[in-house]
Amino acid sequence: MTKKVLVIPCSGIGKPFGTIGRDATLRVVDELRPGKAETNCLSLLVMGDEEAAKQVKGSLCIAVDGCPMECARKNIEAAGGKVAVHMRVMDLLRENRGLRPREVTFLDEDGEKLSAILADRLAAKVDELLEDRR
Amino acid sequence: MKIRPKIGVVSCSGECCGLGTLSRVATRLILEGVRPETVTLCLPLFLAGDSGEREFAQRFPTIPVDGCHRQCAKKAIEKYSGPTAADVDVEALLEEWGVEQPADRRVLGEADVELAERVAAEIAKRIDWVQGEQGA
Amino acid sequence: MSIPQESELMADEYLSTTVDKFMIKVKKGLRYTRDDVWVQQTGEAYRVGITDLAQRMGGDIVFVDFLDRSEYKEGEPLATYETIKAVLDVKAPFGCTVTAFNEGLGEKPELMNEASYGEGWVAEVKPVASGKVEGLLSDREYFSYMKAKAESEVRKLKGAEDD
């Protein structure tokens, strides 16, 4: 198995949740846990890219979904990956009732806040998964 | 009475690099103002088998906007719905313009946003061409 | 490629129409209000919920709050549901009392999006003496109303023009 945790967001383009999930994933992979977490394009997995398929089968995966459609989880499982942790941005929003992220293209203030909260949660999960693996 | 046909635009997921971010932002700019009459299809939903997204792409002309040469969006449309009406390869566009991709795949700087607007203008050209063909 | 016309599909359970990429459904056999609420008789009581159009226009529902009153006038909110866009009302279809709320929506508000005519029901109500059950729309009447409303919303959002 590879040593990094694979974090895959749905990146849904129609709702703020997709942008938030994507943004949080990139925060974790590039800023909070570089070298410990990585990401890849969901569509590469589904379209049968060989390297992506090897990566998803050889990694512990965290699926980050925006909404109850759960496209990331479904597509990772369909590609033969094991979803060790599943997070939905909507569930996080329910824990933070005061936040109203509205923008999709560029995150607004509430979107940024929710992304930061999600990124911290994801980073903690990455640590847990890597700890469990030892 | 001239009826403008519906056009679908679908962006690649694009997590792997700044090209994907450009692709995504340019597609959103199309929806938000450049050509608001278009319909943006959600690629992850399309891949997960949502009938609404796939049926739209079967019935109406659809333009994939791909960040790179791997062309995930184009291949997905062709596999699950049918031939695409036109397409955009952002990597190829940047090469043609002699411009580097954004350094940061998460946060676009001012110059990167202008680049996304330039890509959106290219998408718009293709939309206009497809609509012109359909209206003929 | 020829330009397809919108079609009304007469599936077994639903009247439906396609607007943009969305198929919007009206369940046959129910009654409706212009506030996008469906009503189904269940013995002496009536079960109510929001229609497919309402859930699509509202967006993903994250919270549902039930409003506890002894009696509701027609048009008064029985419950509110919150999306990231707005807080919206589920309006009483006629003067009534509430016999039950769908408490499951507290944990899974998304049922109102995913199963708006089924598990996503909102409340069970009994009409009060002055409650006008007969004034509700039939499924076909609501379908016509819904279709016009959906098309108008899309036109507003898209700013589509006919030359």
Residue in chain C lying closest to A88 (CA) = C62
What pLDDT score was predicted for residue B51? 75
pLDDT band with cut points at 50, 70 and 90 for residue C115: very high
Instruction: Determine the average pLDDT of the residues in B9-24.
Output: 91
Instruction: Determine the average pLDDT of the residues in B72-94.
Output: 94
What pLDDT score was predicted for residue C21? 78
Q: Are C163 and B56 inside 8 Å of each other by CB?
A: no
What pLDDT score was predicted for residue C162? 40
What pLDDT score was predicted for residue A58? 87
Q: How far is B22 from chain A (nearest CA, A)?
A: 11
Instruction: Determine the average pLDDT of the residues in B106-132.
Output: 95
With 0-12 / 13-18 / 19 or more C-beta atoms within 10 angstroms meaning exposed / middle / buried, residue A132 is exposed
Q: For C110, which of A68, A97, A100 is closest by C-beta distance?
A: A68
Q: Is the pLDDT of residue C7 over 50?
A: no
Are the CB atoms for C157 and C22 separated by under 8 Å? no
Q: Is the pLDDT of residue C110 over 70?
A: yes
Distance (Å, whole) CA C124 – CA A9: 39
B74 C-beta neighbours (distance < 10 Å), count: 22
pLDDT band with cut points at 50, 70 and 90 for residue B46: confident
Distance (Å, whole) CA A24 – CA A32: 10
Q: Are B3 and C159 inside 8 Å of each other by CB?
A: no
Q: Is the pLDDT of residue C72 over 80?
A: yes
Of A33-37, A67-71, B62-66, C53-57, the poorest mean pLDDT is in A67-71
The DSSP secondary-structure symbol of C12 reads S
Are the CB atoms for C16 and C26 separated by under 8 Å? yes
Q: Is the pLDDT of residue C2 over 90?
A: no
What pLDDT score was predicted for residue B47? 87
Q: For A75, which of B29, B48, B70 is closest by C-beta distance?
A: B48
Distance (Å, whole) CA A40 – CA A55: 9
Predicted ipTM beyond 0.90: yes
Q: Are B50 and A69 inside 8 Å of each other by CB?
A: yes
- The CATH code of domain B8-131 reads 3.40.50
Q: Residues C134-162: pLDDT tens digits?
A: 889 999 999 999 999 998 888 777 664 44
State whether residue B52 sits within 8 Å of chain C by CB: yes
More confident residue, B45 or B68: B68
Domains of chain C (ranges; CATH) run: 8-156 (2.40.50.100)
Q: How far is C25 from chain A (nearest CA, A)?
A: 19
Q: Are C160 and B2 inside 8 Å of each other by CB?
A: no
- Look up residue C141 and give its two tokens: 């009447």
pLDDT band with cut points at 50, 70 and 90 for residue C163: very low
Q: Residues B90-117: pLDDT tens digits?
A: 999 999 999 999 999 999 999 999 999 9
Q: Is the pLDDT of residue C6 over 50?
A: no
Print burial letters for C67-97: b (CB count within 10 Å at least 16), e (below 16).
beeeebebeebbbebbbbeeebbbbbbbbbe
Q: How far is A134 from chain B (nearest CA, A)?
A: 28
pLDDT band with cut points at 50, 70 and 90 for residue C131: low
Please state, for a pLDDT cut of 70, what percent of chain A lies above it: 99
- Top residue of C7, C21, C114 to mutate, by most chain B CBs within 10 Å, is C21
Q: What phi and psi values does residue A26 have, to the nearest 5 degrees?
A: -70, -30
The DSSP secondary-structure symbol of C30 reads -
Mean of per-residue pLDDT scores for chain A:
92
Q: Taking the CA of residue B52 as centre, how many other CA atoms within 13 Å lie in the half-sphere pointing to its CB?
A: 17
Mean of per-residue pLDDT scores for chain C:
88
H helices of chain A, in order, are 16-27, 42-46, 50-57, 71-78, 89-95, 109-133
Residue in chain C lying closest to A90 (CA) = C62
pLDDT band with cut points at 50, 70 and 90 for residue C61: very high
Distance (Å, whole) CA C8 – CA C23: 10
Helix (H) or strand (E) holding C101: strand C96-101
Dihedral angle at the C-alpha atoms of C115, C119, C120, C126, nearest 10 degrees? 140
Q: For residue A123, what are the contacts with CB-CB under 8 A and spacing of at least 6?
A: A28, A32, A33, A37
Q: Are A15 and C59 inside 8 Å of each other by CB?
A: yes
pLDDT band with cut points at 50, 70 and 90 for residue B135: low
Q: Residues A12-42: pLDDT tens digits?
A: 998 999 999 999 999 999 999 999 999 999 8
What pLDDT score was predicted for residue C11? 59
What pLDDT score was predicted for residue B4? 63
